[in-house]
Amino acid sequence: MSVYESVVRPVLFRWAGGDAESVHERTLGVLAKVPGVRRPHSPPGARRTVFGIDFPNPVGLAAGMDKDGRALRAWPRLGFGFVEVGTVTRHAQPGNERPRLFRLPEHEAIVNRMGFNNAGAEALAARLRALGPLPVPLGISLGKSKVTPLTGAVEDYVTSFRLLSDLGAYFAVNVSSPNTPGLRQLQDKAQLSALLGALRSENRAGRPILVKVAPDLTDAALGELLDVCLGLGVAGLIATNTTIERPVPFDGPGGLSGRPLAPRALEVVRFVAKESGLPVIGVGGITRPEDARRMLDAGASLVQLYTGFIYHGPGLVRRAVAATRSV
């Protein structure tokens, strides 16, 4: 057991009266003061080139951990080979009512119903410009504002993309969060076609655009989604978002992440990689270094951590990098 797991995590989990979101916010505040590094963690055999981008190692930080990019200098220092901020929306929004973030320690899981709480695309653009380039690639996850009806979703995403298009190495189109009403309808063929077509028209610099999929789609629905992605030149996929299924006891809405999601996330990664031939970022249930290796074996080109990082700390990042290096 690492020092983080035996000493730091118990303190963190009791901090702020045990309220998970308060701990998250305070931790980001501490990490925001960490100085950056010039050279990222990139041991021999770790480097990857995926959708035309050079990644110093294949282990990234998933969207949701640092929505507004408050601690961007810290993540490369902790060993991450890339960072994804967001999900960001066109309009600033507070998200859903609290409490909305719940730990399930006995299952190494988290349930969140945050609702895309963020300061908005314009504020993120200003912060990224002030910060300057990172030593690792930066992904930006785009979502729909809650106040925007589905009929206005395309313009909502396009506006965010327009504000941020010169600041991200790649962009993730999040149409799969379970915490914004109606959002998952944008995975339907007609609506996804309209959205991706509009983003492609706006994408004059040719940034890689990825689609983040839900683990709750059937193979048939995933197949339709892949047909749209292939037809509209999507650069890759992120599999998966959180699940609304409850393989562990928990009452109430929200998306489940962590160890219980691992089997389904692997299935989806394997399916979309085989059926599409596109690069895949595998995320969901990576709580051990061998989980990251399994993701690559299933067809992922890169992986991302979120819940595993919360439970196992920075040591998991470097151990996962070691487990995914090319021999």
Supply 294's token pair.
């399994």
- Give the annotated binding-site residues for FMN: 63-67, 87, 141, 174, 212, 240, 258, 285, 306-307
Over residues 278-294, the mean pLDDT reads 97
Indicate the pLDDT class of residue 182, thresholds 50, 70 and 90: confident
Q: What is the pLDDT of residue 157?
A: 97
Query: To the nearest whole percent, how much of the chain has pLDDT over 90?
Result: 91
Indicate the pLDDT class of residue 132, thresholds 50, 70 and 90: very high
Residue 327 pLDDT exceeds 80: no
pLDDT in tens, 88-108: 999 999 999 999 999 999 999
Strand order from edge to edge, sheet including 101-104: 101-104, 109-112, 255-258
Q: What is the pLDDT of residue 184?
A: 87
Alpha helices in 9-144 (DSSP H): 9-14, 20-31, 74-77, 121-131
Over residues 212-235, the mean pLDDT reads 94
C-alpha 179/C-alpha 114 separation (Å) is 7
pLDDT in tens, 45-74: 999 999 999 999 999 999 999 999 999 999
- Give the annotated binding-site residues: 63-67, 87, 112-116, 141, 174, 179, 212, 240-242, 258, 285, 306-307
Query: Based on the number of CB atoms within 10 Å of its own CB, is 2 exposed (0-12), middle (13-18) or buried (19 or more)?
Result: middle
Note if 177 is an active site residue.
yes
Query: Based on the number of CB atoms within 10 Å of its own CB, is 29 exposed (0-12), middle (13-18) or buried (19 or more)?
Result: exposed
Kindly report the average pLDDT of the chain as a whole number.
95
Instruction: Tell me which of 42, 176, 177, 301 is the catalytic residue.
Output: 177
Q: What is the pLDDT of residue 307?
A: 98
Residue 326 pLDDT exceeds 80: no
